[in-house]
């Protein structure tokens, strides 16, 4: 049955929930230590909570097109707040990962935001203080089971912002503001639907909020991982594995840090999950060793590398089994670019492949319906690479760290050295003669690293190794190296 594209992205979710009034669409926030597990939401009960939120917003005078800060923890309140704002035609603004009350006030000032949605946990004095500073707080209503009159989603122009979020800030600066219009958010959903057609009775285990919105629009039941605020730094792998045991879960999406934590637990407490048919891993370069190591525990699952950004998700997809990666020294292979986008590689220089060939690399620029830039403009991804003989995109460098030295870029070096057992992370910074390489791992790994270096790269490439207990990573995925902070 074809999907009708509507100006207001929420129309898709509203239609999906309306057709599933008694079916579970979201298994909200599973039990965490010391907390009871809330009941699952049906389409009807979630619509009731969205209706209560919409009524509260309308009563408080929130207008179509108005930006509203969502200062809520990830969970049912955030979901109904976000969807309630979309329903009335307002613009939800999600703060960057790791935001503090002070940084959120600054964000509100910079974006001219005068209203924020908060939880009942905010004390009265804090609400009064915020109002004195020009920010009116609307308390998110408690869950509603009352049948409210069904409000049609507010009609909005397709070019109106639908969701404002923030990037991880991995290119060296602060997190960028990402503005997705209703047209772009709808196109991203349709691209995800084309790339990953919904399965009958599918239960997905999404770590990324954009996948949760997609699932609601696609009629896929979401089961939230037991990860507080979906912050992987608070992950307790035992709790998540217990959820997977109780099931049913058919698909999982997450980042490298998340799957590494699950893998570490599973190697100590082996369990297999034959019902899982796909693992989607993204957010940062995905080590091939991780894809291989996950297979015994998810024997029936496709292991899929998903490459994209907040501005354009997804850009490329690779099934690890159907499309084996080239040698690690070639770079980070992300697969075939999606047919929905136009793209070009803006030339930078040449790198040498493991076969000894020289290839032109450039920064990937994209545009298309699901890319969050003006229609005629190119979005510069900040990633450099080339197409291999199978027309797959192979990434070799990241903006701010892209200098080519002796035909080598940093992703090539990092991807090859990451194959050494015991290495947790590798980060390489170019120097005039070679690279300074930072390794998260013990110093006694240096001989093994030197062996890989000699096998894969020119002998005249000067490399100095520095060993650290931790490397600086972004606060969102906890997986992307922050090269400017290396020391």
Domains of the chain and any CATH numbers:
1-166 (3.40.50.980)
Residue 10 parent element (H or E): helix 10-18
Report pLDDT for 410: 98
Our CA dihedral for 71, 52, 76, 109, rounded to 10 degrees, sits at: -10
70 — phi, psi (to 5°)?
-100, 95
Report pLDDT for 286: 92
Which of 92, 203, 84 is closest to 144 using CA atoms? Answer: 84
Residue 345 CA, chain-centre distance (Å), reads 23
CB-based contact 283:310 (threshold 8 Å): no
Of 148-157, 213-222, 246-255, the range with the lowest mean pLDDT is: 148-157
What is the spatial distance between Cα 350 and Cα 91, in angstroms, rounded to a whole number?
Answer: 44
- Give the DSSP per-residue string, 90-118: -EEEPPPTT--HHHHHHHHHHTT--EEEE
Report pLDDT for 1: 41
CB-based contact 361:349 (threshold 8 Å): yes
DSSP code of residue 122: S
What is the spatial distance between Cα 344 and Cα 352, in angstroms, rounded to a whole number?
Answer: 20
What is the spatial distance between Cα 187 and Cα 193, in angstroms, rounded to a whole number?
Answer: 10
What is the spatial distance between Cα 387 and Cα 287, in angstroms, rounded to a whole number?
Answer: 19
CB-based contact 415:354 (threshold 8 Å): no
Report pLDDT for 111: 87
What is the spatial distance between Cα 69 and Cα 108, in angstroms, rounded to a whole number?
Answer: 7
* Portion of the chain with pLDDT greater than 70, in percent: 90
Q: How does 434-467 read in b/e, with b if 16+ C-beta sit within 10 Å?
A: bbebbbbbeeebeeebeebbeebbeeebebebee
Task: Report the DSSP beta bridge partners of residue 302.
Answer: 278
Report pLDDT for 396: 98
Task: List all residues 6 or more positions away from 4 whose beta carbon is below 8 Å from its beta carbon.
Answer: none
Which of 426, 95, 446, 380 is closest to 284 using CA atoms? Answer: 426
Report pLDDT for 79: 87
Report pLDDT for 199: 95
Report pLDDT for 434: 94
Please compute the mean of the pLDDT values over residues 267-295 and round it to a whole number.
95
Which of 368, 388, 377 is closest to 314 using CA atoms? Answer: 368
Helices (H) and strands (E) in the chain, counts: 12, 22
Report pLDDT for 149: 58
pTM of the shown model: 0.89
Band the pLDDT of 482: cuts 50, 70, 90: very high
User: Does residue 474 carry a pLDDT above 60?
Assistant: yes
User: Does residue 177 carry a pLDDT above 60?
Assistant: yes
Report pLDDT for 207: 87
Q: How far is CA 246 from CA 30, 160, 212, 239, 273, in A?
A: 11, 42, 20, 11, 10
Please compute the mean of the pLDDT values over residues 69-80 and round it to a whole number.
83
DSSP code of residue 204: E
Which of 59, 171, 129, 48 is closest to 482 using CA atoms? Answer: 171
CB-based contact 72:49 (threshold 8 Å): no
Please compute the mean of the pLDDT values over residues 443-468 and round it to a whole number.
95
Report pLDDT for 374: 83
E-state strands within 256-369: 278-282, 302-309, 312-319, 332-337, 342-352, 358-367
Please compute the mean of the pLDDT values over residues 385-401 and round it to a whole number.
96
In terms of average pLDDT, the best of 3-17, 65-79, 297-311 is 297-311
* Portion of the chain with pLDDT greater than 90, in percent: 65
Please compute the mean of the pLDDT values over residues 308-334 and round it to a whole number.
94
User: Does residue 148 carry a pLDDT above 70?
Assistant: no
pLDDT in tens, 186-225: 999 999 999 999 999 999 999 888 899 999 999 999 988 8
pLDDT in tens, 336-370: 999 999 999 999 999 999 999 999 999 999 999 99
Please compute the mean of the pLDDT values over residues 325-344 and round it to a whole number.
96
Band the pLDDT of 30: cuts 50, 70, 90: low
Residue length of the chain: 487
Higher pLDDT, 307 or 1: 307
For the chain, give the mean pLDDT.
89
What is the spatial distance between Cα 440 and Cα 473, in angstroms, rounded to a whole number?
Answer: 12
Report pLDDT for 5: 47
Residue 223 parent element (H or E): strand 221-223
């Amino acid at each position: 049955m074809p999907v009708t594209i509507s100006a207001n992205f929420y129309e898709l979710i509203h239609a999906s929930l309306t057709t599933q009034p008694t079916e579970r669409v979201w298994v909200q926030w599973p039990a965490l230590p010391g907390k009871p597990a809330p009941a699952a939401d049906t389409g009807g009960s979630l619509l009731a909570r969205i209706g209560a939120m919409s009524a509260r917003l309308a009563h408080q005078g929130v207008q179509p097109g108005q930006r509203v800060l969502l200062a809520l923890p990830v969970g049912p309140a955030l979901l109904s707040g976000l969807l309630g704002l979309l329903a009335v035609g307002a613009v939800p603004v999600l703060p960057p990962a790791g935001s503090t009350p002070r940084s959120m006030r600054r964000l509100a000032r910079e974006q001219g935001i005068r209203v924020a949605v908060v939880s009942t946990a905010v004390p009265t004095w804090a609400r009064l203080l915020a109002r004195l500073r020009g920010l009116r707080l609307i308390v998110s209503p408690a869950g509603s089971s009352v049948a409210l009159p069904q409000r049609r989603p507010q009609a909005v122009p397709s070019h109106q912002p639908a969701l404002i979020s923030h990037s991880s800030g991995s290119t060296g600066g602060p997190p960028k503001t990402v503005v997705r219009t209703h047209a772009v958010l709808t196109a991203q959903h349709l691209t995800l639907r084309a790339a990953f057609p919904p399965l009958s009775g599918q239960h997905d285990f999404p770590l990324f909020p954009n996948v949760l919105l997609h699932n609601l629009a696609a009629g896929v039941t979401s089961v939230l991982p037991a990860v507080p605020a979906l912050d992987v730094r608070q992950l307790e792998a035992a709790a998540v594995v217990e959820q997977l045991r109780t099931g049913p879960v058919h698909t999982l999406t997450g980042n490298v840090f998340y799957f590494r934590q699950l893998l570490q637990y599973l190697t100590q407490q082996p369990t297999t999950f034959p019902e899982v048919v796909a693992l989607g891993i993204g957010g940062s370069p995905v080590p091939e060793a991780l894809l291989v190591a996950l297979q015994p525990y998810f024997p029936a699952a496709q292991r899929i590398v998903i490459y994209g950004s907040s501005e354009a998700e997804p850009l490329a997809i690779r099934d690890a089994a159907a499309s084996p990666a080239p040698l690690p020294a070639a770079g980070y292979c992300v697969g075939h670019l999606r047919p929905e986008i136009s793209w070009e590689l803006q030339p930078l220089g040449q790198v040498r492949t493991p076969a000894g060939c020289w290839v032109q690399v450039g920064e990937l620029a994209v545009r298309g319906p699901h890319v969050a830039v003006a229609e005629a403009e190119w979005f510069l991804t900040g990633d450099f690479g080339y197409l291999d003989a199978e027309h797959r995109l192979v990434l070799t460098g990241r903006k701010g760290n892209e200098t080519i030295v002796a035909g080598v870029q940093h992703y090539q070096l990092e991807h090859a050295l990451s194959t050494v057992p015991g290495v947790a992370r590798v980060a390489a910074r170019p120097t005039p003669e070679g690279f300074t390489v930072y390794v998260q791992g013990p110093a006694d790994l240096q001989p093994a690293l030197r062996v890989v270096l000699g096998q894969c790269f020119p002998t005249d490439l000067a490399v100095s190794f520095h060993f650290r207990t931790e490397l600086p990573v972004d606060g969102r995925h906890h997986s992307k190296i922050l090269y400017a902070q290396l020391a």
